[in-house]
């Protein structure tokens, strides 16, 4: 890559012109003076007064050994020697002037001095640079010319020397060199990619950051233009118009974002800022472009846009999916009230309510589990369990759904399959996968669930003969909020969370889940692999059934949602509880002081006095010091749990509340 060109008005260009001009003038003056001394030596002394007014130092020797040299006034003044002194460095030691001449960092010997070389060899010394070092350690730089002086017979009689002080020029050159070094250091070490381009688009110079950004070498970039590095879709007429406007002088700077092509072919987003550097006549000498690599930011913006789109789509689907079961439940309730002796109405209404409650519970559980998973709040209760009862329970859980579509689920589970897992969470995995198969399989079709040994693993497959999954969606099917069928017309679309929950729960069991289409046949198969354990260490599953207090327990339920409070109270009464209900904080405080409950289930969002304040007030009642306090809330973030515990609650449960879990934990603390 070439060096950055200086502008015509730069110091470096001026010094080069000055040096060339000076050389030409000195050569003419030196030749004229040598000719004058050679042809008319007797008249030279007569014209010494004229020589003394010349500003250019002149030295003359009249012997070939140059043992004595004189000069004009400018020479004596420059060399700091009294008028009439010997100026020759070849003079005897006692007569030698108090300065030395150096070149290329070393002192010059007598035969290397320009006057001596011209007188001894007859050569003309042109433009020899030397350094004059004075006794006080100061220095000066000179540009020297020497020519032999001959008599009429052509014999060398001496020499004439003309020199000029170039100290200022040398300082300027050194400053320029230092400036160039600093520029090069800053240019190369700059963390931001920088490129210098010519008006025709060719890259003149780039720094290392620019090479790193695009993956090219300097040699490779010499053959390219900045437009060739630009993504084809960003090589627009607008870009050409901007460049033309800068060349024409209508604008001086511009900034934009565009895509570059890395050598590997990948896209690099750059925030580009370009400025024009102009010649004195106003034409563009070159452009300086700074590029900030914003690829990560652009990718993050893209992901954010996609997340917003997924969120909006999810909210639309959520609205649709919640209204469908609610509408069906409303019709079932109305039919139950107005059946007027229709014997088939009540069983149908019961089936509808059961089926739609299952759908709503599944959607709410998926929502809650997604949040708990993100917060790391899901804990597995691992133990060695037989797989077949878990599978059969999952099939039973979706029975109302597949029976309505007149489908059949064919189950085949190898005997004595044992895994280490949480039976509740594993059942949730299989329920979600079965529900997914039922949803996307036509009515009056079959679904197959097969579980068998495969090496040190248990392989569970759930297959259907539905439409399958588009190939472009297979790799993303387990992402949250992803919908294969995105149309709102799909009556069983779901929320797009079930499969995401499946993947996380399977991986928490040290397993793996995958999906494949049945090419060329229709349908899809989900495969779950779980580590297998030895059969003989199986712990028996607990018998199913609701949790019940072993003795009568006084319970206070405080919830402003009347149906929730009364429904919870009725179930707790069936579980051996003596229950009272209140619907606001002040009412709950009064009821607790009179009733002295052993178990208090308090909603957080109460009118008047919220659940936190109520718990704080009740902890001041001495008779309640051994009571169990349970917080109930629709919010289940970590900070909500922490605040509940800080307010004196023993447990925090998110709605809908698992009363079996409440009774189990309370019974341990109450000893019943």
- What pLDDT is attached to residue 12? 45
Using CA atoms, how far apart are residues 190 and 213, in angstroms rounded to an integer? 13
What integer pLDDT is reported at residue 306 of this predicted model? 83
Parallel, antiparallel, or unpaired: how do β-strands 524-531 and 512-517 relate? antiparallel
Highest mean pLDDT among 303-312, 326-335, 432-441, 477-486: 432-441
In the predicted model, is pLDDT for residue 608 greater than 70? Answer: yes
Across 42-65, average pLDDT: 73
Is the confidence at residue 19, as pLDDT, over 70? no
H-type helices in 338-486, by residue range? 345-375, 387-397, 399-404, 423-439, 471-474
CA-nearest of 469, 394, 466, 447 to 424 is 394
Pick 514 or 25 by higher pLDDT.
514
Sheet containing strand 203-206, edge to edge, reads 203-206, 194-197, 284-293, 267-278, 253-261
Task: Identify the DSSP state of 155.
Answer: -
What is the distance between the alpha carbons of residues 534 and 420, in angstroms, rounded to a whole number? 10
| Residue environment code for 539-570, b if the CB has 16+ CB neighbours within 10 A, otherwise e | eeeeeeeebebeeebebbbbbbeeebbeebbe
Torsion of CA 196, 201, 203, 204, to 10 degrees: -60
- Residue keyed to tokens 């030749």: 31
pLDDT at residue 114 is higher than 70: yes
**C-beta separation of 659 from 572 below 8 A:** yes
Length of the chain: 672
CB 229 within 8 A of CB 261: yes
CA dist 426 and 388 (Å) reads 11
| Residue the block writes with tokens 């009540």 | 346
List the one residue out of 608, 580, 601 whose CA is nearest residue 644.
601
Tokens of 16: 């080069």
Residue given tokens 């919640």 in the structure block = 322
CA–CA separation, 150 and 119 (whole Å): 9
pLDDT of residue 490: 41
pLDDT score of 662 more than 60: yes
For the segment 401-428, the average pLDDT, to the nearest whole number, is 89
DSSP string for residues in 47-62: GHHHHHT-SS-EEEES
Average pLDDT of span 583-595: 95
What pLDDT was estimated at residue 611? 93
Distance CA 266, CA 376 (A): 36
Q: What is the mean pLDDT of the chain?
A: 83
Banded model confidence at residue 390, pLDDT cuts 50, 70, 90:
very high
From residue 48, alpha-carbon distances to 33, 59, 626 in Å are 12, 12, 124
Q: What is the dihedral of CA 484, 487, 492, 498, to 10 degrees?
A: 40
Tokens representing 600 are: 């208090």
Angle at which helix 345-375 crosses helix 498-508, to 10 degrees, equals: 60
- The pLDDT of 566-591, averaged and rounded, is 93
Task: Choose from 237-241, 345-349, 409-413 the range with maximum mean pLDDT.
Answer: 409-413
Q: What are 280-323's pLDDT values in tens digits? A: 888 999 999 999 999 999 999 998 898 888 777 767 666 656 77
| Residues 567/455, Cβ–Cβ less than 8 Å | no
Q: For the chain, how big is the Rg over CA atoms in Å? A: 49
For residues 363 and 61, the model is more confident at: 61
Q: Are strands 125-134 and 139-150 parallel, antiparallel or unpaired?
A: antiparallel
Q: Over 80: is that where the pLDDT of 158 sits?
A: yes
76-113 pLDDT per residue, tens: 999 999 988 999 998 888 888 989 999 998 999 988 99
Mean pLDDT of 532-553: 68
Residues whose CB is less than 8 angstroms from the CB of residue 538 and which lie 6 or more positions away in sequence, other chains included: 384, 385, 386, 418
Confidence of residue 549 (pLDDT cuts 50, 70, 90): very high
**What's the pLDDT tens digit per position in 480-497?**
766 665 333 344 445 567
Exposed/middle/buried for residue 538 (C-beta within 10 Å: 0-12, 13-18, 19+): middle
Least confident window among 38-47, 242-251, 257-266: 38-47
Residues 113, 116, 121, CA angle at the centre, nearest 5°?
115
Contact 353, 483 (CB under 8 A): no
pLDDT band at residue 30 using 50, 70 and 90 as cut-offs:
low
pLDDT of 358: 73
The pLDDT of residue 491: 42
What pLDDT shows up at residue 486? 35
pLDDT digits (tens, 9 = 90+) for 120-154: 999 999 889 999 999 999 999 999 999 998 887 88
Q: Is residue 587 over pLDDT 50?
A: yes
**DSSP three-state, residue 45:** helix
pLDDT more than 70, % of the chain: 83
Please give the pLDDT value at position 352.
Answer: 78
**655 pLDDT band (50/70/90 cuts)?**
confident
Name the one residue in this structure whose structure tokens are 């009556």.
491
Cβ-Cβ contacts under 8 Å for 241 (sequence gap 6 or more): none
Average pLDDT over residues 619-636: 90
The predicted model scores a pTM of 0.43
- Only one residue has tokens 């090479």, namely 211
Q: What are phi and psi of 601, to 5 degrees?
A: -110, 105
Q: Is the pLDDT of residue 185 over 80?
A: no
Q: Is the pLDDT of residue 11 over 60?
A: no
- Return left, alpha or beta for 383; rule: phi > 0 is left, psi -120 to 50 is alpha, else beta: beta
Give residue-wise pLDDT tens across range 201-248.
Answer: 889 889 999 999 999 998 898 888 888 999 998 888 667 788 888 888
Q: Is 110 helix (H, G, I), strand (E, B) or coil?
A: helix
d(CA 563, CA 359): 20
Q: Which parts of 489-535 are beta strand (E)?
A: 512-517, 524-531
Q: Residue 270 forms beta bridges with which residues?
A: 258, 293
Q: Whole-angstrom Cα distance, residue 125 to residue 145?
A: 5
């Amino acid at each position: 890559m070439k060096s950055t060109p200086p502008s015509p008005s730069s110091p470096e260009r001026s010094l080069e012109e000055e040096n060339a001009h000076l050389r030409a003038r000195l050569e003419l003056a030196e030749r004229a003076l040598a000719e004058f001394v050679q042809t008319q030596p007797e008249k030279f002394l007569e014209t010494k007064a004229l020589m003394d007014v010349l500003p250019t130092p002149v030295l003359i020797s009249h012997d070939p050994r140059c043992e004595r040299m004189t000069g004009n006034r400018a020479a004596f003044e420059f060399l700091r020697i009294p008028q009439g002194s010997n100026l020759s460095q070849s003079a005897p030691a006692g007569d030698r002037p108090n300065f030395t001449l150096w070149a290329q960092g070393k002192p010059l010997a007598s035969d290397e001095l320009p006057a001596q070389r011209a007188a001894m060899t007859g050569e003309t010394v042109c433009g020899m640079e030397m350094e004059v070092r004075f006794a006080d350690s100061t220095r000066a730089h000179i540009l020297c010319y020497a020519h032999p002086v001959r008599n009429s017979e052509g014999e060398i009689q001496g020499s004439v020397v003309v020199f000029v002080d170039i100290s200022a020029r040398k300082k300027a050159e050194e400053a320029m060199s230092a400036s160039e070094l600093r520029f090069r250091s800053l240019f190369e070490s700059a963390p931001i990619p920088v490129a210098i381009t010519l008006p025709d688009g060719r890259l003149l110079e780039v720094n290392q950051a620019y090479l790193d950004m695009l993956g090219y070498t300097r040699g490779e970039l010499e053959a390219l233009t900045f437009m060739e590095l630009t993504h084809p879709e960003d090589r627009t007429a607008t870009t050409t118009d901007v460049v033309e406007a800068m060349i024409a002088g209508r604008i001086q700077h511009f900034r934009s974002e565009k895509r570059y092509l890395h050598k590997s072919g990948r896209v690099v987003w750059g925030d580009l800022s370009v400025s024009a550097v102009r010649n004195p006549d106003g034409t563009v000498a070159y452009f300086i472009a700074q590029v900030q690599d914003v690829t990560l930011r652009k990718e993050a913006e893209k992901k954010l846009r996609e997340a917003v789109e997924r969120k909006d789509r999810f909210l639309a689907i959520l609205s649709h999916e919640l209204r469908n079961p609610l509408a069906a439940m409303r019709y079932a309730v109305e039919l139950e009230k107005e059946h007027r002796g229709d014997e088939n109405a009540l069983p149908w209404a019961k089936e509808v309510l059961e089926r739609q409650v299952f759908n709503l519970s599944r959607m709410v559980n998926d929502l809650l589990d997604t949040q708990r998973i993100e917060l790391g709040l899901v804990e597995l209760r691992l133990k060695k369990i037989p797989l077949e009862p878990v599978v059969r329970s999952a099939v039973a859980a979706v029975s109302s759904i597949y029976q309505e579509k007149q489908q059949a689920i064919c189950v085949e589970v190898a005997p004595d399959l044992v895994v280490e897992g949480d039976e509740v969470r594993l059942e949730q995995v299989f329920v979600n996968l079965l529900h997914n198969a039922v949803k996307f399989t036509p009515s009056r079709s079959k679904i197959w669930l097969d579980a068998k040994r495969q090496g040190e693993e248990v392989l569970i497959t759930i297959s259907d003969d539905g439409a399958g999954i588009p190939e472009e969606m297979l790799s993303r099917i387990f992402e949250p909020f992803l919908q294969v069928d995105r149309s709102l017309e799909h009556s069983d679309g779901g929320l797009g969370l079930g499969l995401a929950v499946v993947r996380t729960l399977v991986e928490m069991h040290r397993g793996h889940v995958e999906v494949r289409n049945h090419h060329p046949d229709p349908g899809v198969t989900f495969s779950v692999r779980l580590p297998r354990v030895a059969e003989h260490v199986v712990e028996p599953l607990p018998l199913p059934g609701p949790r019940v207090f072993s003795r009568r327990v006084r319970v206070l339920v405080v919830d402003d949602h009347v149906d929730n409070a009364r429904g919870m109270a009725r179930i707790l009464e069936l579980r051996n509880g003596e229950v009272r209900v209140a619907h606001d904080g002040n009412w709950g405080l009064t009821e607790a002081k009179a009733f002295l409950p052993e178990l208090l289930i308090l909603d957080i969002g109460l009118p008047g006095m919220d659940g936190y304040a109520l718990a704080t007030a009740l902890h001041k009642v001495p008779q309640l010091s051994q009571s169990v306090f349970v917080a109930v809330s629709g919010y289940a973030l970590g900070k909500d749990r922490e605040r509940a515990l800080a307010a004196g609650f023993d447990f925090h449960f998110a709605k809908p509340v698992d009363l079996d879990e409440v009774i189990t934990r309370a019974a341990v603390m109450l000893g019943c």
